Amino acid sequence: MSRTIHGLIYNALKLFMEMNQKLFDDCTQQFRAEKNKEKAKLKEREEAWIKIESLAKSNPQMSREQRKERPLVRSKSDVPQDSNTSKALESQR
């Protein structure tokens, strides 16, 4: 950032602090707490992915026979049907 922008930001922050120190401190504390929550959430997400990856690596792969027995794509009859959705689709045609 340029020095001019830094100076303007510094002056604005200084002005806010002088206007209401308690409010400024509360806002700063709340901002830091939200940043810490975001960091914790990101860490949890990363740990969950590590766990999923390790489970996937430890899971034995299916044999070719098992894959042939269990198709990857469901047939239309296996998909649950909702009568309200079917009626709405029919009325749109």
The per-residue pLDDT for range 18-68, each reduced to its tens digit, is: 999 999 999 999 999 999 999 999 999 999 999 998 888 887 776 555 556
pTM here?
Answer: 0.49
Angle made by CA atoms 75, 77, 81, in degrees to the nearest 5: 125
Tell me: pLDDT of 76 over 70.
Answer: no
Residue 73 CA: distances (Å) to CA of 56, 57, 76, 77: 21, 23, 9, 12
